[in-house]
């Protein structure tokens, strides 16, 4: 126990400090093109509500102080009226318009989050995120200043060559699939994004926030286990799977309620 404590960086001491100011940026400004649906995937119905509501609800119940929702350029009024007001999300402090790529949307969210101490960045397309995962990300940000939620990969991964043949097979025990939330000390991630936007030649190929911090700073990004259920809804079968996970959760909450009363 003592050794573990000594190995912790000093920030770990104030993990439970309620004054920590944590903002979550929830991204919903994508086009959802791989879903090939008429309605954008973030608004598709999932377990009786627009998909984006599930992630917003997890943040609403979590200890984060406020949420910034990043919506499509023409969709901020719709999100305010039909999502935030209609479902009563009290922690949503601002709704801002996103940009062309995910990292443009994140940057808009970061600018709106100015002044917070830690920031969590979450794909609104991950409806199965839980309060527990959010808490782990918050603790990771406090302890390491930069962390991502992910899980060890279960499948063998191969690197393909230009002819479509397997060129090599990385050691699976070192591979993680990365999810969100990705959580950072605000100043660190803001500096990394500012540098990215000062160097547009570095933009291509950026797929997540950790990559921006890894590329633009010397700071290490810690990997924190999440859940295999925290999937990103990308194609139609993901919607079905997310529905099953959410349904099962609601049933077990109901059963617990029955036993408790």
Interacting residue ranges for ligand CTP, rule: CB under 6 A:
27-34, 42, 70, 98-102, 104-105, 123-125, 232, 234
Name the minimum Å distance from CB 109 to Mg ion: 16
Residues 6 or more apart whose Cβ sits within 8 Å of residue 147: 137, 140, 141, 182, 183, 184, 221, 222, 223, 224
Q: Return d(Cα 200, Cα 194) in angstroms, integer.
A: 11
Name the minimum Å distance from CB 211 to ligand CTP: 14
Q: Which does 129 bind (CB under 5 to 8 A by kind): Mg ion, ligand CTP, none?
A: none
Residue among 35 and 112 whose Cβ is closer to Mg ion? 35
Q: Which does 123 bind (CB under 5 to 8 A by kind): Mg ion, ligand CTP, none?
A: ligand CTP
Residue among 31 and 256 whose Cβ is closer to ligand CTP? 31
Q: Return d(Cα 117, Cα 23) in angstroms, integer.
A: 8
Name the minimum Å distance from CB 36 to ligand CTP: 9
Name the minimum Å distance from CB 125 to Mg ion: 9
Q: Beta strand pairing status for 166-168 and 176-185?
A: unpaired
Residue among 118 and 238 whose Cβ is closer to ligand CTP? 238
Residue among 25 and 116 whose Cβ is closer to ligand CTP? 25
Angle between helices 51-61 and 131-144 (to 10 degrees): 60
Q: Return d(Cα 116, Cα 60) in angstroms, integer.
A: 17
Q: Which does 207 bind (CB under 5 to 8 A by kind): ligand CTP, Mg ion, none?
A: none
> How many residues contact Mg ion, by CB under 5 A?
1
**CA distance readout (Å), 209 to 55, 174, 203:** 18, 20, 12
**Near Mg ion in 7-66, by CB under 5 A:** 30
**Letter string b/e over residues 213-246, b meaning 16 or more CB atoms within 10 A of that residue's CB:** beebbebebebbebbebbbbbbeeebbeebbebb
Name the minimum Å distance from CB 126 to ligand CTP: 7
Q: What is the DSSP letter of 170?
A: -
| Residue for token pair 């990308």 | 234
Residue among 104 and 195 whose Cβ is closer to Mg ion? 104
- The neighbour count for residue 49, using CB atoms within 10 Å, is 17
Name the minimum Å distance from CB 127 to ligand CTP: 10
Residue among 109 and 140 whose Cβ is closer to ligand CTP? 109
Q: Which does 169 bind (CB under 5 to 8 A by kind): Mg ion, ligand CTP, none?
A: none
Name the minimum Å distance from CB 209 to ligand CTP: 11
Q: Which residue is nearest to Mg ion (CB)?
A: 30
Q: What is the DSSP letter of 80?
A: I
Phi, psi of 153 (to 5 degrees): -70, 150
Residue among 56 and 142 whose Cβ is closer to ligand CTP? 56
Closest residue by Cα to residue 118 from 145, 94, 92, 85: 145
> Which residues of the shown chain bind Mg ion in the complex (CB under 5 A)?
30
């Amino acid at each position: 126990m003592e050794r573990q404590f000594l190995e912790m960086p000093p920030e770990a001491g104030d993990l439970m400090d309620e004054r920590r100011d944590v903002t979550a940026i929830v991204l919903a400004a994508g086009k959802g093109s791989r879903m090939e649906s008429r309605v954008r995937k973030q608004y598709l119905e999932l377990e009786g509500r627009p998909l984006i509501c599930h992630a917003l609800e997890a943040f609403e119940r979590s200890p984060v102080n406020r949420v910034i929702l990043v919506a499509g350029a023409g969709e901020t009024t719709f999100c305010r009226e039909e999502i935030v007001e209609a479902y009563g999300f009290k922690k949503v402090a601002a709704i801002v318009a996103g940009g062309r790529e995910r990292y443009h949307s994140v940057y808009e969210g970061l600018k709106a989050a100015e002044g917070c101490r830690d920031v969590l960045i979450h794909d609104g397309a991950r409806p199965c995120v839980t309060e527990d995962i959010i808490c782990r990300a918050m603790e990771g940000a406090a302890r390491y200043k930069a962390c991502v939620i992910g899980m060890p990969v279960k499948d063998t991964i191969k690197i393909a060559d230009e002819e479509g043949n397997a060129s090599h097979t990385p050691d699976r025990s070192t591979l993680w699939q990365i999810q969100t939330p990705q959580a950072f000390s605000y100043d660190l991630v803001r500096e990394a994004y500012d540098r990215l936007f000062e160097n547009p030649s570095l933009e291509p190929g950026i797929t997540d926030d950790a990559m921006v911090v890894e590329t633009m700073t010397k700071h290490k990004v810690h990997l924190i286990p999440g859940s295999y259920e925290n999937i990103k809804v990308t194609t139609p079968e993901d919607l079905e799977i997310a529905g099953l996970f959410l349904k099962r959760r609601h049933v077990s909450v109901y059963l617990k309620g029955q036993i408790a009363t």
